[in-house]
């Protein structure tokens, strides 16, 4: 899992762990979302983290401006060789504007798409970003069970791209008394990304159980 450019569509922070893993492997990751969510850059040399913590000239904290004033490039870290994450302010209900901002943040076509978009917006958002993908770019599509149809017959949004579908259950695989945890979700999605980048065929994988086990 190294190099390349990835477009990651998810609510702020929902797949931060996936973005961090890609950045650590040298990926250029573009994250359109409504709210700003920082992704730590990988540590490379002593003191680098401290330098990155310094505010650049003209830096303005998020709270100093209204959400609508944020533009692409307000948050960027890392470098091309070591990987970086770029946040762009965008909304699911404005898919073509989202695609325009994502395209401006990418340097060429994306080699990977990871998507966790609510079913209400998924078709329009996926259509809008499809032209940003390389012809052979794999897709990882995350959905809660029931949003893509029956668990055994989900339909990927972009049929022309090899897709790893990740279906999220309601409760943990290891403890049916609690809801599916964020760590479990991130682990499962990262595994799907690895399958996608290794060229494995399209597949469907479920994380978590549908419902608590009867006792």
Side-chain half-sphere exposure of 97, counting CA atoms within 13 A: 11
Angle formed at CA 157 by CA 35 and CA 100, multiple of 5 degrees:
45
Q: What is the pLDDT of residue 1?
A: 55
Side-chain half-sphere exposure of 59, counting CA atoms within 13 A: 9
Contacts of 97 (CB under 8 A, 6+ apart): 90, 91
Sign of CA dihedral 151, 180, 125, 122: positive
Please report the domains of the chain, with CATH numbers, ordered by start residue: 5-207 (3.40.50.720)
Provide block-wise average pLDDT over 10 residues at a time, the chain (215 residues). 86 85 93 79 48 37 32 39 85 95 95 94 96 97 69 75 91 77 89 95 86 54
In sequence order, which ranges of the chain are alpha helices (DSSP H)? 16-24, 48-53, 95-105, 122-129, 182-197
| Percent of the chain residues topping a pLDDT of 90 | 48
Q: What is the pTM of this model?
A: 0.76
Nearest to 102 by CA among 128, 78, 81: 128
pLDDT digits (tens, 9 = 90+) for 10-63: 976 789 899 999 999 999 999 998 887 667 655 544 444 433 443 333 333 333
Residue 165 and residue 189: Cα distance in Å, rounded? 9
């Amino acid at each position: 899992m190294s190099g390349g450019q990835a477009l990651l569509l998810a609510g702020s922070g929902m797949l931060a762990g996936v973005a961090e893993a890609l950045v650590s492997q040298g990926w250029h990751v573009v994250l359109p979302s409504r709210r700003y969510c920082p992704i730590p850059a990988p540590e490379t040399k002593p003191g680098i983290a401290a330098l990155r913590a310094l505010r650049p000239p003209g830096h303005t904290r998020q709270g100093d401006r209204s959400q609508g004033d944020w533009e692409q490039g307000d948050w960027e870290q890392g470098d091309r060789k070591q990987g970086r994450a770029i946040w762009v302010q965008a909304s699911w209900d404005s898919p073509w504007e989202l695609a325009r901002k994502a395209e401006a943040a990418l340097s060429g076509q994306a080699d990977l798409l990871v998507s966790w978009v609510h079913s209400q917006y998924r078709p329009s958002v996926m259509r809008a970003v499809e032209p940003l993908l390389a012809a052979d770019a794999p897709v990882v599509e995350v959905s809660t069970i029931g949003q893509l149809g029956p668990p055994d017959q989900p339909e990927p949004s972009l049929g022309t791209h090899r897709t790893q579908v990740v279906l999220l259950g309601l409760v943990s695989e290891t403890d049916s008394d609690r809801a599916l945890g964020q760590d479990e979700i991130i682990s499962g999605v990262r595994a799907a990304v690895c399958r996608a980048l290794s060229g494995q065929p399209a597949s469907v994988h479920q994380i978590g159980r549908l419902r608590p086990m009867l006792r």
